[in-house]
Amino acid sequence: MNGQRNKRRSKGYAIITTALAATVLFPLVGLAIDVGILYVVRAQLWLAADAAAMAGARALGSATDQTTQTANAQAAANTYFNANWPSHYWKSTTPNGPNVQVIPGANIRSIVTTAAVNVPLYFLRVLHQDSATVAVTATATRQDAFIELILDRSSSMLYALPSGGTACSSMKAAATSFVSNFTEGRDIIGLVVFSAGVFSYPPTTSFNTRDGSGNTIPSLINSISCTGNTATTSALSVGYRAMQNAYTGGLTAGRANIVVLMTDGRPNGVDANYLPYATGSCANNQLIGNIAQWAGGPNPSGTTAGIFNHTSASPSASDGHIYAPGCNFNLNETNMPTDIGGIPLQDIYGNYVKSNAGAGYTSYTSSNAHAPWSNQEPTLLGTYGSNHGPNSPFDISAASINSADYMGKVIRTDSTLRPQIYTIAVIGTSGGDPPDTLFLQKLANYGFDTSDPTARSYANAQANQTKGYYAAAPDPSKIDSAFQQVAAQIGMRLAH
């Protein structure tokens, strides 16, 4: 009997214990479920608010006055918030927001987006709590840009498009559209247009406003006439110097410094002081200018020419050679090798053109698939000054690409300005001398195919240098698409 009473007593204790535990555990389980729902709702709400803030920040670059910028930012924020917020998510109420606030700054502006919803509770209603408010805040910034736009106007850009027009006209339309992505009065744009000579227009925040001569950056782009050679290094050097001068003048403070280079071929010209290598009566002149590979591609024999002016008076001026009494190239540019016996170690901008020249600098080499001269480069470059370089298209090509590579390294390792290089390769205009896509990826420090050993070595060597972006127009009709890619990438990097 005692045993039965003990069993009944134990069952009674178990029922009481279970009942007591249930009064504690059930609310805890309910709390966990309701809190889990609140957590899921908050994550989605923050995702929508963050997308809204980022879109609003990008939209700040779409107008010149603050009122319109704010309105554009709010409109973009609302669009992106609604696209990322499912209506009545987990039976939540219509959101309060997004509320978008623009916080002005010198060259960096912030977007603060807030939003809140009420979420129904299920298990905690026993505690007379029917709903809870979930609120989030997301912040994004839009940094103003300083852009040096560098455009190749060499004669190969006269390639005729099947649909009409030329690669040159396609470039002008695409570059003009590219400029429209930036905000006058906030962003700064400078223009460099190059063939053998370089034309430079100073960077300005008033790039859509006519200057004293009636020019705007879009009007100058539209006036481009494509002709001549491809002095890529000089163009990069002039654009970078304009950026340095702007920094000295206080223009770049707080801005993202960006170089955008579009080209349709390999560099094929070297700007240097050739007086130390001049022969005969030609040696009595000022001989600072550009010598170029004209025909033969990166081969030891072919046509070379010079000495061309290293500056252009306008984006439509033809390349002209310098006038130097007693020089044979006065009568015919292809006579230049009879006047000049070598290529200097550095160009007029201080860029090294020779293998292993300059502290810590190793010249550009590529696999045979990308650059036919690579295996011979050190030997041929070593013969500069021995009446070999100026009459060899190979030497001029190698010197040109080496100096451009050196300039690229200088830009990417500038720890003060931290410029990013964006490159656009226009493919298909010149079958004999197409752009070296690996070289343009190396300039941008972006887009390497690391399965290729050469590309992998470049990526590793440049791992700590600033990264830009590489885009390709697979044929000349796709130039606008490539510029749009670059504009979108810049926009995303300016807004963060």
Strands 145-152 and 256-263: parallel
Q: What percent of the chain has pLDDT over 90?
A: 60
At residue 63, the pLDDT reads 67
Report CA torsion sign: 220, 221, 226, 230: positive
Span 210-219, pLDDT tens digits: 999 999 999 9
At residue 466, the pLDDT reads 97
Which of 18-27, 106-115, 176-185 reaches the highest mean pLDDT? 176-185
Q: Write down the architecture of domain 145-267+354-494 according to CATH.
A: 3-Layer(aba) Sandwich (3.40)
At residue 355, the pLDDT reads 57
Please tell me which residue, 217 or 268, carries the higher pLDDT value: 217
At residue 96, the pLDDT reads 93
With a cut of 60, say whether residue 21 has pLDDT above it.
Answer: no
Residue 297: pLDDT band with limits 50, 70, 90: low
- Describe the crossing of helices 437-444 and 453-461 by its angle, rounded to 10 degrees: 20
Integer Cα distance of 364 and 406 in angstroms: 8
Residue 386: pLDDT band with limits 50, 70, 90: very low
With a cut of 60, say whether residue 344 has pLDDT above it.
Answer: yes
Which of 23-27, 30-34, 450-454 reaches the highest mean pLDDT? 450-454
Residue 434: pLDDT band with limits 50, 70, 90: confident
Tokens describing residue 235:
């163009």
Please tell me which residue, 411 or 492, carries the higher pLDDT value: 411
Helices then strands, counting H and E runs in the chain, come out as: 11, 12
With a cut of 50, say whether residue 433 has pLDDT above it.
Answer: yes
Residue 475's Cα: distance from chain center in Å? 20
At residue 136, the pLDDT reads 95
Query: Which has the closest alpha carbon to 282: 228, 330, 342, 339?
Result: 339
Give 354's contacts (C-beta < 8 A, 6+ positions apart).
345, 363, 381, 382, 384, 399, 402
Instruction: Specify the range with the lowest mean pLDDT, choosing from 126-140, 287-301, 346-360.
Output: 346-360
Which secondary-structure segment (H or E) carries 426?
A: strand 420-426
Tokens describing residue 261:
């280079």
With a cut of 90, say whether residue 374 has pLDDT above it.
Answer: no
With a cut of 60, say whether residue 361 has pLDDT above it.
Answer: no
With a cut of 80, say whether residue 300 has pLDDT above it.
Answer: no
At residue 116, the pLDDT reads 96
At residue 367, the pLDDT reads 36
Residue 357: pLDDT band with limits 50, 70, 90: low
Average pLDDT on 122-144 reads: 86
With a cut of 50, say whether residue 349 has pLDDT above it.
Answer: yes
CA distances from 236 to 40, 365, 409, 479 (A): 50, 19, 11, 20
Residue 204: pLDDT band with limits 50, 70, 90: very high
Which secondary-structure segment (H or E) carries 112?
A: strand 108-120
The SS3 of residue 412 is helix
With a cut of 70, say whether residue 26 has pLDDT above it.
Answer: no
At residue 488, the pLDDT reads 92
Residue 223's Cα: distance from chain center in Å? 24
Query: Which has the closest alpha carbon to 263: 441, 435, 445?
Result: 435
With a cut of 50, say whether residue 305 has pLDDT above it.
Answer: yes
- Which part of the chain has CATH 3.40.50.410? 145-267+354-494
Residue 73's Cα: distance from chain center in Å? 24
Average pLDDT on 454-460 reads: 88
Bond into 221 cis (ω within 30) = no
Residue 235: pLDDT band with limits 50, 70, 90: very high
- Residues 6-40 as b/e (b if ≥16 CB within 10 A, e otherwise) read eeeeeeeeeeeeeeeeeeeeeeeebeeebeebbee
Integer Cα distance of 361 and 346 in angstroms: 13
DSSP assignment of 186-228? TSEEEEEEESSSEEEEEEES-TTS--TTS--HHHHHHT----S
Integer Cα distance of 101 and 138 in angstroms: 11
| Cα Rg, the chain, nearest whole Å | 32
With a cut of 80, say whether residue 29 has pLDDT above it.
Answer: no
Please tell me which residue, 496 or 44, carries the higher pLDDT value: 44
Q: What global pTM score does this model have? A: 0.84
At residue 177, the pLDDT reads 96
Which secondary-structure segment (H or E) carries 33?
A: helix 2-59
With a cut of 80, say whether residue 62 has pLDDT above it.
Answer: no
Which secondary-structure segment (H or E) carries 149?
A: strand 145-152
At residue 31, the pLDDT reads 67
